[in-house]
Structure 1
Amino acid sequence: MKTESNMQTIAPAIRRAVPNRIFAAGAVVVALCAAFTPLAHADNAPSKTPGGSLATAAAGSTPLPAGVVARVNNISITQDQVDQIVHTTNAPDTPALRANIKEQLIARELFRQAAEKDHYATKPEVQAAIDQAKNAAIVQAYLRDQIKPAPVTDADVKAQYDKVIATLGDSEYKPSVIAVKDAATAQTILDQLKKGVDFAQLAKQYSQGPAAAQGGAQNWISFKTPIQAGNTQNWPQPLAEALVKLPQGAVSSEPVQVGDAFWILRVDQKRPTQIPPFDQTKDVLRRQLEQAAMQKATAQVVVGLIRNAHIQQ
């Protein structure tokens, strides 16, 4: 069995909705060059202009200082700038790529100088963008210093593996589900299923539940039986109890009500629980624990700031 399939079984209780980290290296460089990056990836060949390349047009008779690849009206474009952008691309580091990047930087500097000459820096929308970028940089620097997630140790990873494995039962199931808002619609679906209408087709047509567009198909799931509250891999307990009673290929004979929704279950596959070795899952578990630690540390900073703030809504 593939590791990914196994992880879908053993780790459903671990939340994945963790905010993306905001400290991406080189993000400023990428943003500054976003308008020009298509050139850097276009066949890795230097673009041509009617009178020669921008680098040729900008060239002067005075030799360039060390570390400078071009000058535009006495403003230097450095080798470091080119290197930074090369490092943010996924393209091979070739002379053609570097030539394109240099021309992009020349073009950007020409645009900047022309805009400055026409006093674009004083336009309200430009000032707003500058303020927004400044505030974002300040927040990023603050969070980088203040958010200190607890380190995740090898023992933590192993303990998490053991904890997840302990929640699994002898069998695992790959179900499909249909969820609707009223009992009458649920009964209509059951009637159509008895007539041989395809479950996936009905899920796409009626379901308001998870993965409706995929025919209601769910990942592998396993429960320790008898079902106990709080040990249902984030499934509602009535659904878990109904699922483990169904043989492979069977559909629930009546809708299962959970709150205001009515669920119809089908067991697409059933088999003995496949437990992957620790070495195959430890990296995924470590990343999940690190994300959880980051989320917890971030929440602690937010709570501390809220406690000392006066907020009106």
Structure 2
Amino acid sequence: MRIALLPTLILLAFSPLAHSQTPTPTMPPAAAPAADPSKPLATVNGKEIPALYGELVKREMAQGQPDSPELDARVRESLINLELLSRAATDKGLDKDPRLAAALDIRRKDQLAKAYLEDYIKAHPVTDAEVQAAYDKAKAGPIEPEYRARHILVSTEAEAKKVIADLGKKAKFETLAKKMSKDPGSAKNGGALDWADRRAFVPEFSEALASLKKGETTQTPVKTQFGYHVIRLDDTRQPKLPELNAVRDEIVKQLQQQRVRDAVTAARANAKVE
């Protein structure tokens, strides 16, 4: 079970290792003692820090880095700082703050919920038959076409109408896009957008795009949350469904997400919520 620990920057800031500006080859940071599950990682004012704490924090702090004495030392120093500062907070009565107590309770319940869901997924693993069935269902169903379009994004309806009028006077779409479009990602390419199906666009843009035939341009401005668009459909294509092996991991993730929804539904079914 993986337990997520939010990085606490203040701990690293107070760590002696964090203040080392220039590494000294002949004086490397002292490594923490080798982790022994039966022994504490450190003892602070008589309070033992379990080695398990070090394992959990080390997993988060590593961020893909290889194991090293320096990392062990950072983990140990961070946990010592954590113990000292949390004790100082308790001595000051900060642990009695209702908001802090609520935050700690939410964090605890969040970890428990994650542990339960991991256990549920492990107890209800996705089978090869389910993966194949999901793939076959997608293969048998309609596949959303992909569109290759261009657009010009402007701030006002009046500007969009002027663009449409200029296009009617044989102005080049690509030239107007480079000159007038406020979409920096596509303007430099003459308004060209990557191949995508309708789900990649906001609803208003998607509906306008789907209404066009190849080579057509919208004759009225298309208003979205970004401004006003003039859209031209350059081409469409029917994508091929990838081979099962290429999408197996994605299908497994989707089915695991369904497992999570099933677990939540089952939990709520027997709950009294007022």
Instruction: State the TM-score bracket (shorter-chain normalisation).
Output: 0.5 to 0.7
Q: Does 1:73 align with 2:38?
A: no
Please list, as runs of the form range in 1=range in 2, the aligned pairs for 1:3-18 lying within 5 A after superposition. none
Is the 2:41–2:49 Cα contact (8 Å) retained in structure 1? yes
* Residue of structure 1 in register with 2:132 after alignment: 155
Unaligned segments of structure 2, at least 5 residues: none
Unaligned segments of structure 1, at least 5 residues: 1-23, 57-63, 205-211, 224-233
CA positional deviation for 1:146: 7.8
Distance 1:47 1:76, change over 3 A: farther
User: Take 1:168 and 1:286, find their aligned partners in 2: how far apart are those partners?
Assistant: 18
| AA aligned opposite 1:154 | V
Alignment length (residue pairs) = 248
Please list, as runs of the form range in 1=range in 2, the aligned pairs for 1:250-261 lying within 5 A after superposition. 252=217, 254-255=219-220
Higher helix proportion (structure 1 or 2): 2
* Residue of structure 2 in register with 1:113 after alignment: 87
CA positional deviation for 1:104: 1.2
* Residue of structure 2 in register with 1:26 after alignment: 3
* Residue of structure 2 in register with 1:220 after alignment: 195
CA positional deviation for 1:81: 1.9
Is the 2:42–2:48 Cα contact (8 Å) retained in structure 1? yes
Is the 2:150–2:193 Cα contact (8 Å) retained in structure 1? yes
CA positional deviation for 1:99: 1.0
Determine helix, strand or coil for the equivalent of 1:77: strand
Distance 1:72 1:288, change over 3 A: closer
User: Take 2:197 and 2:37, find their aligned partners in 1: how far apart are those partners?
Assistant: 67
Please list, as runs of the form range in 1=range in 2, the aligned pairs for 1:75-94 lying within 5 A after superposition. 75-88=47-60, 89-90=62-63, 91-94=65-68
User: Take 1:201 and 1:299, find their aligned partners in 2: how far apart are those partners?
Assistant: 52
**Amino-acid identity (%):** 19
User: Take 1:126 and 1:54, find their aligned partners in 2: how far apart are those partners?
Assistant: 35
1:195-245 per-residue CA deviation (whole Å, 9 max, x = no partner) reads 4443255331xxxxxxx452365442479xxxxxxxxxx885553231x33
Is the 1:70–1:77 Cα contact (8 Å) retained in structure 2? yes
| AA aligned opposite 1:255 | T
| AA aligned opposite 1:85 | V
1:120-165 per-residue CA deviation (whole Å, 9 max, x = no partner) reads 222344334334334545655666678998946232242144146x
* Residue of structure 1 in register with 2:181 after alignment: 203
TM-score normalised per structure 2? 0.63
TM-score normalised per structure 1? 0.57
Distance 1:87 1:161, change over 3 A: same
User: Take 1:76 and 1:47, find their aligned partners in 2: how far apart are those partners?
Assistant: 31
User: Take 1:94 and 1:45, find their aligned partners in 2: how far apart are those partners?
Assistant: 19
Determine helix, strand or coil for the equivalent of 2:211: helix
Identify which of structures 1 and 2 has the higher relative contact order when contacts are C-alpha pairs closer than 8 Å and 6+ apart. 1
| AA aligned opposite 2:39 | G
CA positional deviation for 1:83: 1.9
Determine helix, strand or coil for the equivalent of 2:135: helix
Cα RMSD (Å): 4.9
